[in-house]
A and B are shown apart, each in its own frame.
Chain A
Amino acid sequence: MAFKTKKEQEPEVELTEDELNMKLDDGFGDMAPPRKAQHFWPSAKRLLSLLAPEKVLLSVVFGFVAVAVVLNVIAPKILGMAMDVIFAGFVGAQMPEGVPQDQMVAGLRADGQDDLAEMISGMELVPGAGVDFQQLGLIIAIVLAMYFVANAFMWGQGYLLNKLVMRVVYNLRKAVEDKLNRLPLNYFDTRQRGDVLSRVTNDVDNIQTALQQAFAQLVQSALTVIGIVIMMFVVSWQLALIALVALPLSAVAAGIIGVRSQKLFKHQWKATGTLNGQIEEAFSGHDLMKVFGREDDALKQFDAKNEDLYKASFGAQFMSGTIFPVMNFISYLAYVGIAVVGGLRVASGQMSLGDATAFIQYSREFTQPLGQIAGMANQLQSGVASAERTFELLDADEQDPETADAHLPERADGHVEFHHVSFSYSAETSLIEDLSFDADPGHTVAIVGPTGAGKTTLVNLVMRFYELDSGRITLDGVDITDLSRSELRSKAGMVLQDAWLFNGSIMDNIRYGRLDATDEEVYAAADATYVDRFVRALPDGYDTVIDDGGTNVSAGERQLITIARAFLANPSLLILDEATSSVDTRTEVLVQQAMNALRTDRTSFVIAHRLSTIRDADTILVMEAGRIVEQGNHEELIEGQGAYYRLYQSQFAGPAEDPDAVTDSIPAV
């Protein structure tokens, strides 16, 4: 048999749940390089449109941010005025009392101290008087009030934005979950489960982070930068020019280092991935490593890859680590420039000391939001990439809308007919062609054939998990497409090989079959399907919680619980997939007996592996490579000496000549 192509892929090739959990929980989520969005702007726009219903609140948030930023930006200038008052008091106190300011200045000029004279002439001071504490107190009170209001508004915007974003993300999660329910099953078949899962979990988380942190920060930082630039020019355009020279310088430095460290980080991520892969493999395949004597080899490989990772991560960390000092250096250059030029201007009376100190504060507060913008842009980018992936899911084609107008009585007879049914997962290869058969009420239809022959597909069609290409399937004479999916499926029960139980108590898991069942009904179903016996032996009985690892309940016991679940549902129509997994032999018997109990008086489709099931079936469908090659009952098909006969010979009869003499041989599966 060839490898299955995507179209006919059955879920068995996918990761088991354990492997899936491991992949998801391994904590490398934050290690992965940020994904790039393919269509950044359209996706970003759509991400923003998620916020549209909140636009009133959002504008309030931005109003708050604006107020806070304006106050924060103006405050240093006012604080500078406090400095001026102190300085004036300082200078004034050194002058003789009673001498007017202009006389002082003239005196200094006469002494040849022109610069000092210039400075003093530019100041508002009262010679002989000390610091004007009334004015100082007033200024400080104003500054404090400004800061207080600014911080209150910052808090207010954070508070509102958080609520807003949580609400938006709540709705997004809800939309995603609703969408999952409307997606056709083959959406899940044709994709890696892990990928779908990561779209609905990690990607949505990522969007939340981006909206919560990056979005507001970006706006705030941008406003702050603009505000500071304006204030710098207001205070002194000469110093502002010096400060702004630093801007392209830092941009270039950050660009150069950023690009190089991005490259190095890519190396690091790659090396991390390779090494973690190696660790995962070596630990998962530990037994094999021992048995095949590969330990030394594995150590050697590991050491080499570990060394690679060391080199890569050292490079990346070093390069990215230099950004901070280098940017710092540039800001210090500006600082020195401002200190010197500012000092000169203050000394020459062209500028007040308070303005100079305010300017120093501006220049230092300037670089911080710039750095933030860079960081947030990265986060926003990864948020948009996640949004794109989530939107892809939200935009995926949905299953055909319901056109239900027919109804069946509460208890259906279970008469299933296939009329010239054709079905394929894709246009190129047809899987089921022109299939017709009739399953009478209460009859058992056994479906046999090798793996990948399309057995599962066939039963999925009965459940209308997929839509037919042509032909009709009827239940009690009604076309199943005329029934709502929920009505059809509520008439049917399913027991699958993959014993899916959810993370809840055994009681809840059985009750899943019929939510309104009383405890007594659950016990009765458990009793009829041999669940009761082992559950009673568990310390917590029916309250035992089924955990992900399934450590407390064996595979066979899980299977029994799924049978009890179907039993409780009491469907008119039954679909069974006989287990082929290795279940302990004694539980196996119970599973088989429970399945027999379940089948009684119901129309059943069984993907059969057991000889007894097959021989007792009213109709046997023999499938090969997606076709039904034979149908009939056991005797007829043996008689016909066709595919079934050959299958029977090879599987069940073994070397024995006479098919009737092999009843002690069990089909090994």
Chain B
Amino acid sequence: MPSVSTQSVLSGYRVVELASERCALAGKLLADMGAEVIVVEPPEGCATRSWEPYAKDEAGTENSLHWWHYNTSKKSVVLDLDNSSDAQSFRSLVASCDVVIEAEPLGRLDAMGLDWGQLSNTNSELIWTSITHHGRDGADPPSTDLTVLAEGGPVWSCGYDDHQIAPIRGGGNQAFHTACHYAVPSILAALLWREGSGTGQLIDVSMLGAANVTTEFATLWWLNGESQVERQTGRHALPTMTEPTQIQCADGKWFNTGVPPRNKQEFKALRTWIEDLGLVKQCGVYEILKLGDQFERIGLLELDDDPLAGEVFHAGREAIEFLGTHLPAYELFVGLQQRGMACGIVYSPDEMIADPHFIERGFPHEIDYETRNARYTHPGAPYRFSNTPWAASRAPHLGEHQAVIDNLSG
């Protein structure tokens, strides 16, 4: 393997981020890959510093776990943009940077003379990224992650077979994440283009648009055939109701049965496992599984046309459900996967990070909190670069890097 590079992917780039829950992930993704990301906070600190939960449940500016997660590897400076001297510092800071990321209320920066239109004159290489509700030319309705996911499509597809139960917003503020997931590739493409052209530009990211193009079949079935998908418990929303894919295992944990066996090797592996577990007599579909030996591959579209294929396919599904009543979810997951069948244990986020596979890969990432004399485990890298590793250090204290401002020229 080549030796590890002395520089990170984004080292040398300076990014100025106006602190906001809507764009924090974009800054984090760049900071953890080596960019110098300077998050600009108001004197009282970013609003998310007051978001629960707190470390050790003690409220305080430096204790929000939301702040800790979303602001790793960044620097913090305090600027009161309503104050003319601080506004001038902000201008100087922007003049010194490569990328600005902001999700301010529409019109706020413009009214202060601190928007793209005013600041790009002094820095023609500047890449300015706005994350807005539905574009800088649009309106700016009061909105949250919940309302964007509701009107943007995802909520319609998530929920339960029983449609008397409300549709569901998936957890984790994913509307903000998805907007950031479009902002970052756009910024990187703009940086690549700037390397050749020497010219910056304005990137305008629509949160509502990002949600709209992140709904998979809800959109695809409408664009192609004008069919409306319907929500279904723990599985894809589709125009027709499908069979359940989620079971509760012997230890009470939920399990995604994925794709049941479809060829003779898989049927044989499943049968042999039932034999090894001494469960042949209790398994009502064991004899039907033997018929699986006749199939090289059962196509899902053939199930209705070939009664035997349908019966064998369903026996495979039932055999997995049967095993689930006897085994804890983890054993079922590893056992089926080792036998070639795609399936998944339904972990909570904290269970995922404690799983042996992810530990062996180094996904749990310990960060030093030197002022607390402690080290805490964070989720690690979403990708592994062979030469330029991802790295994350603790989120900054409020104004911890104010010297950046003092050192600005002009």
The judgment on whether A and B are partners is no
